[in-house]
Amino acid sequence: MSVDRLCRRAGRAAGLGILLMAPLRTAAVMALPAPPATAAVPAASAASATAAAPAVPVASAASATAAAPATAAVPAASWKATGSIWSVPPFEFRDGFWTNLHHFLYQEALAMGKGQASGETRQAPNPTEPPGPRGEDERTAWSEALRFYAGSVVQHDLLFEREMIDIDYALAGLADDASLRSPALKPELAAALVRAAPVYRARWWPAHDRANRFWIAVATPMVQQLGPRMIEQLAAAYHEPWPARPILVDVAVYANWAGAYTTPGDEARPGHTIVSSANPGNQGFAALETVFHEASHVFVDQANDAVTHAIEKESRARRQEPPPKLTHAIIFYTAGELARRNLAAVGVADYVPSAERYGLWTRVWPTFKPALEEFWQPYLDGKTTLDTAVARVVASLGGAGAKAVPR
């Protein structure tokens, strides 16, 4: 799909959806032995992260609103992810068979032309993928599963519909060899997955599993070293506590048309990101921006956060509608700028934030970038307060803003 078309629909995703055709640059090159089912990776200490990245002021000491505490209280949890998990605070990275199969069937069913009601479009296939099903039995099993997904699943939006969100959580709670017994999985869906599983496991899963594990191996060193500083900066910028529970990042070859999306979670379940390992816009150094952009959606852009509240307050005072999708644009700008600063601190001098690299500011939010550069950037530099920055951005936009890009 063209970048133009993606950008016209970019706001439908909580993710860095328009990230296409980025060159693959790895922040670290690692041998990738097959880890055990649960491979813990120790997190970098705050001290080492601070040494790696210099302090970047976010709000001035004179800010009228006190900076939020580092983390929120932990609610009682009744759900837990299962499978191959790499614990790298503030995330739990996961490479799960059933999650990958579900999203791959969803992607492949879109190619059958049945998914347009959900606004989805099939992502280009991975050129390294092996041939598909062989033999009559394999073809029949795979075709039956695809027909079910084409007729009953792809009409539903992966991000916005509760049933689809519940499916993501249910599959993330299952081990790779588990039976599909969950109240969130309708019998017909479970049956389709079970039919397709042997074919997928034989034909595609080995390559997808390797791609996912390599992506995790590239992303986790950056999170280890730069994550503590990113957490501190983002929590201060948004005036919100960082979620206390680890955010689950399910890595799959296909996520959605956007390349990544995030569910904020609830009292029982943590924030949950699905990210594509094959989407070029998520690869290399961009993985750092991607995961922290997605993490921002867990506690920002939820209607009651400090940034959205400040936008709505200033808009009411001016008797105008809030600029559409301004909070999401602020997330793009903030996550991209802080990723750029922290990568520069460890020698990556040429990182270009994703919104700029893929033309979001010109194609989707043509009036936003000048306002954010003039009034939000000084806030990130510690020269003004959140309320003042937001007030000036809203005043500058004057009720104008993005093209129609529903989130």
Q: Is the pTM of this model over 0.85?
A: no
Length of the chain: 407
Domain residues of the chain, as ranges? 73-231+241-296, 300-397
Question: How far, in Å, CA of 267 to CA of 75, rounded?
Answer: 6
> In sequence order, what are the residues at sequence separation of 6 or more whose Cβ sits closer than 8 angstroms to the Cβ of residue 366?
402, 403
| 306-317 helix and 326-345 helix, angle to the nearest 10 degrees | 130
Task: Give burial (CB, 10 Å; 0-12/13-18/19+) of 191.
Answer: middle
- Best CA proximity match to 285, nearest among 211, 195, 364, 225: 225
- Determine the longest span between alpha carbons in the chain, in angstroms: 71
Q: What is the pLDDT of residue 14?
A: 39
Q: What is the pLDDT of residue 302?
A: 74
Residue indicated by tokens 């989407």 = 279
Distances (CA, A) of 336 to 43, 49, 128, 223, 241: 22, 18, 30, 15, 20
Q: What is the pLDDT of residue 400?
A: 56
Q: What is the pLDDT of residue 91?
A: 97
DSSP letter (8 states) at residue 93: E
Question: How far, in Å, CA of 321 to CA of 308, rounded?
Answer: 13
Residue indicated by tokens 């869906």 = 189
Report the sign of the C-alpha dihedral through residues 283, 285, 291, 294, in that order: negative
- Best CA proximity match to 333, nearest among 3, 27, 16: 16
Per-residue pLDDT of the chain (407 residues; tens, 9 = 90+): 333 333 434 333 334 333 322 322 333 323 333 443 333 333 333 333 333 333 334 433 233 333 333 455 444 445 577 778 999 999 999 999 999 999 999 999 987 874 444 444 445 444 345 556 678 888 899 999 999 999 999 999 999 999 999 999 999 999 998 888 888 899 999 999 999 999 999 999 999 999 999 999 999 999 999 999 999 999 999 999 999 999 999 999 999 988 999 999 998 999 999 999 999 999 999 999 999 999 999 999 777 899 999 999 999 999 999 999 999 999 999 999 999 999 999 999 999 999 999 899 999 999 999 999 999 999 999 999 999 999 999 999 985 554 433 33
Q: What is the pLDDT of residue 303?
A: 77
- Best CA proximity match to 238, nearest among 401, 49, 379: 379
Q: What is the pLDDT of residue 399?
A: 59
By the 8 A CB rule, do 145 and 105 touch? Answer: yes
Task: Give burial (CB, 10 Å; 0-12/13-18/19+) of 147.
Answer: middle
Q: What is the pLDDT of residue 130?
A: 53
